[in-house]
Amino acid sequence: MTTKMFDVVPYHQFTKSEWAALRDGEPMTLTESDLERLRSLNDPISLTEAEQVYLPLTRLLSFYVEATQGIHSAATKFLGTNGDKVPFIIGVAGSVAVGKSTTARILHALLQRWPASPKVDLVTTDGFLHPNSVLEARNQMERKGFPESYDRARFVRFLADIKSGRPNVAAPVYSHLVYDVVPGEEVIVDRPDILIVEGLNILQPGELPKSGTPIVFASDFIDFSVYIDAEEKHLRQWFIARFQRLRETAFRDPSSFFHRFSKLSEEEAVSLATTIWTGINLPNLSENILPTRGRADLILTKGVEHTIDHVALRKL
């Protein structure tokens, strides 16, 4: 019987309890105080969820890292080149307010506590946004976070340098307080064993040239990708709740780009956050972020309580 295209299911599907069973005794190396430090604003992840979801994931990643290193070793043996290890790159993608930063930080903390004590670095793609001065000149400030607002060529060069084993590769730094790239400030990534890259659009393949000329995209350098998913109505709710929390905290700092919003009433804050979601974040999600979900190796789906209810792992 011929299998129809729509009958092919590319993912293994797991409930949280089914996925948690794959932990297989992997020890928990984080404490509640560690989680308190790692969780993002308005992300209620618990130690139990970290054990149920992220311990099985780190166990899986240990197998992927080992296998990737084996492939690299075989290739270098065939080519007669040096056998230096190639950094394993993990991508974490998903919508605004879905909890990418928390996931990336927890993975970073767990992976660097493996018995082998690998060198693990974490970089966000925010630093590769064009500075506000450039976006303003291009009339793109309201497109910040869309693919065209990033210096994609610089990001690809950064990943290429990391993959080639180049030492002391610089990445620009972004400040959420001033809502801009910080001039002259960099973070140095020096030949990690594992690099975690977190960002909205890291799984986008881009448009292939009709000429067939070889071209590389950021997603080509990612060895394993995680997409954090949730229904749009939940994402909207979480974004508004986060905006309200920021209005009461970070926005109160006079140096904050959004300081003026701290003076809004609760009703005004909800109205503005809803406008921002509808006019900026939702179009970016619909047009650019959500279409990349099917390219991820692992999809973590959250329910209304901001907790992971379902896991999908791409079949090999």
Residue 6 lies in a domain: no
Residue 116 lies in a domain: yes
Residue 202 lies in a domain: yes
Pairing of strands 298-302, 308-314: antiparallel
Q: What is the pTM of this model?
A: 0.93
Residue type, 276: I
Residue 136 lies in a domain: yes
Residue 58 has pLDDT above 60, yes or no: yes
Pairing of strands 224-229, 298-302: parallel
Amino acid 89: pLDDT: 97
CATH of the domain at 291: 3.40.50.300
Residue 4 lies in a domain: no
pLDDT in tens, 173-217: 999 999 999 999 999 999 999 999 999 989 988 776 777 777 788
Residue 1 has pLDDT above 50, yes or no: no
Residue 2 lies in a domain: no
| Residue 312 and residue 298 in contact, taking contact as beta carbons nearer than 8 Å | yes
Share of the chain above pLDDT 90, in %: 82
What is the torsional sign of CA 163, 168, 170, 173? Answer: positive
Amino acid 217: pLDDT: 87
Residue 303 lies in a domain: yes
Per-residue pLDDT band at 8 (split at 50, 70, 90) = low
Per-residue pLDDT band at 85 (split at 50, 70, 90) = confident
Residue 285 lies in a domain: yes
Mean pLDDT within 27-42: 89
Residue 119 has pLDDT above 80, yes or no: yes
Q: Which residue has the higher pLDDT, 86 or 94?
A: 94
Amino acid 3: pLDDT: 44
Measured between alpha carbons, how far is 67 from 255 in angstroms, rounded to an integer? 47
Mean pLDDT within 255-263: 93
Amino acid 7: pLDDT: 57
pLDDT averaged over every residue in the chain: 92
Structural domain count, the chain: 1
Amino acid 21: pLDDT: 96
Amino acid 76: pLDDT: 87
Residue 2 has pLDDT above 70, yes or no: no
Q: Which domain holds residue 98?
A: 11-77+87-314
